[in-house]
Structure 1
Amino acid sequence: MSRTLMAVAGRIAGACLLILAVVTLNFTLIKLAPGDPVEAIAGAAGGMSEELRAQIRATYGLDRSFLEQLVAYLKQIFSGNLGFSYYFNQPVSELILQRLPATMLLVFSALVISVVLGVLLGVLAARKPDGLLSQSVTVLSLVGYAAPVFWTGILLTILFASTIPIFPISGMRDAGMEGGMLDSTLDVLWHLVLPAITLGIVYLAQYSRLTRASMLEVLGADYIRTARAKGVGEFALLSRHALRNAMLPVVTMIGMQFGNMIAGAVLVETVFNWPGLGRLAFDSILRRDYPTILAILACSAALTIVANALTDLLYQRIDPRMKEGR
């Protein structure tokens, strides 16, 4: 029990140090980037006097040295205060809480689509490596991985805006939507189809290709040949014996790619005007809203670290050898 507690404490300490490093690096890069938030505020207001500009700099602490701003920001972050938005004129924590559910819905929907379909296609392709399906999966993985998400999103927008107007191409809800909770939920899911497919296609291609390669390796193992010799059915052989071991690299890839999926959501939300953190980040970058940008980056880093920790736990669940080794 003590070893477990020490391991958990060590992991939490490591996560805190990693978040500290990420927050410090993000703050440094933002400060080195060109642009002045006061000038952005002045431009949005149609101009202002030098006295008012100096007052705004003093209010937000922009007149201090870089080191003083960094120390003040770190104290603020680790006290639970994400700051105050220059442009939206409200606490950044409120903005994050308003937009986070939409981003999580998009990311997890894309993750489910990519993992389920990718693993299914990979398993089917591994049954006949030289068959048409296997070759199709290979082509799909190459095309899907090479296509940028914004390009895929634009193509789907054009297709379903003019050629086949089935799905909505913008927003999260219809403006004039009326009805109960069920109608509202179905409306959100209907708007979610195109953004989730756009974000999931790239990772579906990766997971299908990786599952195919891993399944081919597992199916050539001695214990699989022994199971076949004992008369184990094909479905039981694939689902109970082969797939569990073949999923280990896929689970690792899921944890590694979660941060990239959140980053890809920025482009997808911009294309489809999805009201999540990605859209908020895009608007904040245009307006030099540094507190909001830094908070979104810190939130993304924390989500990625949590996803990696959960992936590690899931890996131990799938592979008992890791638990025995520990």
Structure 2
Amino acid sequence: MNRLQRTLLHALPTTLGIVIVVGIALGAVMAVWAGKWPDRVLLLLALLLYSTPGFWIGLMTLILFSVQLDWLPSGGNITIGAELTGCAYVADMLRHAIFPVLALSSFFIAIYARLTRVAMLEIAQQDFIRTAHAKGLTPWFVTVRHILRCALLPITTVAGMHFGNLLGGAAVVETVFSWPRSAGAVSADGT
């Protein structure tokens, strides 16, 4: 329970922000370009993200962007010893959250991308979509207003079911990136 605050700090943005938006965007691109090279490339990317453990992706990005390139911090949730306030404090927290959020969201992005693609391709075959095209509506309008809008129903259902899995996976990600216990928590040895 003493880590719940920090867990929710990066689990909620992952679920609500990155996973849903990126997954739906990739799935929509795959559905629009179904059978063509963008669809195949993104399907391969989704397969790789789905089959690769999040902690491994986190470790590899940590090695590349933190150890080799020295662009981002390698662990923790804030810079120790920096007396930051306001926007600088938030920016520092966001820099430290990039790796955990990426590691935690990779699996779920793949799921939502594939789910969006399948739902959109299924809805595109419905009679009301043919009617919308017959009315002279632009393909972009039909895709966004009718197909994508109807495809969001199964995505929201699955998102609710995956929230618990996301919180469970956060424990491993927190260990990999050395996220400390929340402020005020004292361990058995007094630290």
Structure 1 counterpart of 2:165: 260
| Match 2:7 to one of 100, 103, 106 | 103
Query: Match for residue 71 of structure 2?
Result: 166
Partner of 2:27: 122
Q: Displacement, 1:272?
A: 0.3
Match of 1:248 in 2: 153
In structure 2, C-alpha distance between the alignment counterparts of 1:220 and 1:276, rounded to whole Å: 51
C-alpha separation between the residues in 2 aligned to 1:218 and 1:224?
8
Q: Residues 16-54 of structure 1, C-alpha deviation per residue, up to 9 Å, x if partnerless?
A: xxxxxxxxxxxxxxxxxxxxxxxxxxxxxxxxxxxxxxx
Over the matched positions of the two proteins, sequence identity in percent amounts to 38
State which of 230, 233, 239 in structure 1 corresponds to 2:135.
Answer: 230
- The match for 2:102 among 193, 197, 202 is 197
Q: Secondary structure at the match of 2:98?
A: helix
Q: How far did residue 161 of structure 1 move?
A: 2.5
Q: Give the CA RMSD over aligned residues.
A: 1.8
TM-score, length-normalised on structure 1?
Answer: 0.54
**2:83 equivalent in structure 1:** 178
Choose between structure 1 and 2 for higher RCO, CA contacts under 8 A separated by at least 6 residues.
Answer: 2
1:138 aligns with 2:46: no
1:106 is displaced (CA, Å) by: 0.7
Runs of 4+ in 1 over 3 A off after TM superposition: none
- The two structures have a TM-score, normalised by structure 2, of 0.90
More helix per residue: 1
Structure number with larger C-alpha Rg: 1
Matched, 1:272 2:180: no
Unaligned 5+ runs, structure 2: none
Residue 18 of structure 2 corresponds to residue 113 of structure 1: yes
The answer (yes or no) to whether the contact 2:77–2:179 under 8 Å persists in 1 is: yes
1:276, distance to aligned residue in structure 2 (A): 5.5
Counterpart-to-counterpart distance in 1, 2:180 and 2:171: 10
